[in-house]
Structure 1
Amino acid sequence: MKKIGLYFGTFNPFHIGHLIIANHLAENTSLDEVWLVITPQSPFKKKKSMLENHHRFELIYRATENYNKLKPCDVEFKMPQPNYTSKTLAELRDSHPDLEFSLIMGEDNLVNFHKWKNFEAILEHHEIYVCPRMTSTEIPEQFQNHPKIHKTDTPIMDISSTLIRKSIKANKNVQPLLQYKVWEYIDEMNFYR
């Protein structure tokens, strides 16, 4: 069964740090592919700085089209909001019974994982790949040495989408932080100005 890692985020915008992490996981773990699951803009919390869903999908599509193990995923666009990861995972299991889905998260998310809705069900059905963060955090005992939780040696990327948006608005050059097709689209569409 093909193993798919699910990397969730708003990706506003999708930057080189996201790409490096996703590619590292696809190339250096037992995952066959990494799907970048785009968190939709909440209809209840419209943020002016948040690009519309289809534009964020397009950025990821352009950034990953030459990476056969990375794919944008819009599954949450069609689901009722607000949404929970457990529901997305159930939806993907139903629509792709031939695939095995794993969750990708940062160490900081694992610390609060026990507060997630249906976290036990998530752990029952899915493996979790944990990426290290800049500041080390105390992992709850129940998740230490858990057979379904795998710590990875993913590079630590300290690149912020917020900083990229602010820099574009301030007319600074952020091209090194974005895959070139992503930069072209942002520039051409005049996003974040």
Structure 2
Amino acid sequence: MDKPDHKKIGLLGGSFNPAHEGHLEISLKALEILGLDEIWWLVSPGNPLKSDDDMAEYNERFLSAERIAGDHPIIISDIEKKFKTRYTVDTLTKLTDEFDHDFIWLMGADNLAQFDKWKDWKDIANTVPFAIFNRPSYSVDALNSIAAKTLSEYKIPTSNAAELYMKTPPAWVYYEMTENPMSSTEIRRNNKRLQT
């Protein structure tokens, strides 16, 4: 029997530079199909795979996440800043040590396509189950990626997504019905165009 404070929590990490409707779509769909209690948006102090040149100040990114999340069951978290972690593998190690929750890592298909470039990506896959959400034009690259092929035997059908939290990692699901084309990069490009 679960403890009263035990929850099923989806973790969506990122720069949120800025947060946008695509982040929200993934989160709301994750709440629905995975049967989660809440989502934590982990606003990263810095992304090792991205340049800091175009990165807005941390507080600005955090506030953009709060605005987009609104009153949905989404917690905007500065836990990576508190943990002083820069890599997902380190954040997940600390989270699973510190909290007695069922965590599921959430990410877009664009991240699955490059997941093998993440530090200790196989350790990440062995720490918590994860759910991948389609992004327009990324599904082929994502499903043919090194990570997807390496972990193919651990992929569960979308119809069993609500059971993902009970699976021993590695375990993952690919949800194809998210199609929001929004990206933080495109938002920044459009903002620059408006300013010139």
Q: Same fold (TM over 0.5)?
A: yes
Superposition pairs of residues 57-136 of structure 1, within 5 angstroms: 57-67=62-72, 69-80=73-84, 83-96=86-99, 98-135=100-137, 136=140
The yes-or-no answer on 1:166 pairing with 2:171 is: no
Counterpart in the other structure of 1:23? 28
CA contact (8 A) 1:25 1:154 kept: no
CA contact (8 A) 2:8 2:37 kept: yes
CA contact (8 A) 1:5 1:103 kept: yes
Stretches of 4+ moved more than 4 A in 1? none
The residue matched to 2:154 in structure 1 has which SS? coil
Counterpart in the other structure of 1:175? none
Shift in Å, 1:115: 4.3
CA contact (8 A) 1:102 1:126 kept: yes
Distance 2:131 2:113 in 1: 14
Superposition pairs of residues 147-162 of structure 1, within 5 angstroms: 148-162=171-185
Evaluate the alpha carbon distance shift between residue 28 and residue 169 of structure 1 in structure 2; reply closer, same or farther with a 3 A threshold. same
Amino acid of the residue matched to residue 186 of structure 2? Answer: L
- Measured on the aligned residues, the alpha-carbon RMSD in Å equals 2.7
Evaluate the alpha carbon distance shift between residue 155 and residue 37 of structure 1 in structure 2; reply closer, same or farther with a 3 A threshold. same
Evaluate the alpha carbon distance shift between residue 107 and residue 15 of structure 1 in structure 2; reply closer, same or farther with a 3 A threshold. closer
Evaluate the alpha carbon distance shift between residue 91 and residue 124 of structure 1 in structure 2; reply closer, same or farther with a 3 A threshold. same
Encode CA deviations 1:145-183: one digit per residue, 9 max, x unaligned.
415111123412211222222323333xxxxxxxxxxxx
Distance 1:112 1:37 in 2: 19
Gaps of 5+ in 2: 1-5, 156-170
Distance 1:42 1:61 in 2: 19
Evaluate the alpha carbon distance shift between residue 42 and residue 19 of structure 1 in structure 2; reply closer, same or farther with a 3 A threshold. closer
Evaluate the alpha carbon distance shift between residue 34 and residue 42 of structure 1 in structure 2; reply closer, same or farther with a 3 A threshold. closer
Distance 2:39 2:77 in 1: 10
Q: Percent identity?
A: 32
Distance 1:125 1:41 in 2: 22
TM-score (norm 1): 0.74
Distance 2:109 2:47 in 1: 25
Shift in Å, 1:119: 2.8
Shift in Å, 1:91: 1.5
